[in-house]
Amino acid sequence: MTAEASSPARYRWTVAARALAAIPLNYLLTSIVVGLLARHLPLNPVEASAAATLASFAIFAVIAMAVFQARSAGRAWLWMAGATLVLGGLLALSIHLGGRL
């Protein structure tokens, strides 16, 4: 991820942008995915919650790697923000319609 930027300052900004997408935004997205899995895996609620939680670290790691592998920081952000909005909306809808225990 060195050649993307033409100047050192620009390079630092793109690293910072990716790090923001790969850590805080990734945590938000992973939490949403885990929430959706916990609600919709075909298991009882205890089991589904546990299974989704167990998978969470793998999900986070894969997304983080994907963000640093993306062609540009902008693309990474676009994908991350898009997925967060869409899946977050689905989770909100699922909780709104199905309720919680």
Out of 11, 17, 20, 51, point to the residue binding other proteins (CB under 8 A).
Answer: 51
- Measure the CA–CA gap between 33 and 48, rounded to whole angstroms: 13
**Both tokens assigned to 79:** 């994908």
> Nearest Cα to 67, choosing from 9, 10, 28?
28
**Distance between CA atoms of 35 and 91, rounded to whole angstroms?**
7
* 58/85 with CB nearer other proteins: 58
Of 61 and 86, CB closest to other proteins:
61
Does 38 participate in binding other proteins (rule CB under 8 A)? yes
Residues 91/34, Cβ–Cβ less than 8 Å: no
Q: Is 64 in the site for other proteins (CB under 8 A)?
A: yes
Which position among 16, 54, 86, 93 is part of the footprint of other proteins (CB under 8 A)?
Answer: 54
Length of the chain: 101
Footprint of other proteins on this chain (CB under 8 A)?
1-4, 30-32, 34-39, 43-54, 56-58, 60-61, 64-65, 68-72, 91, 95, 100-101
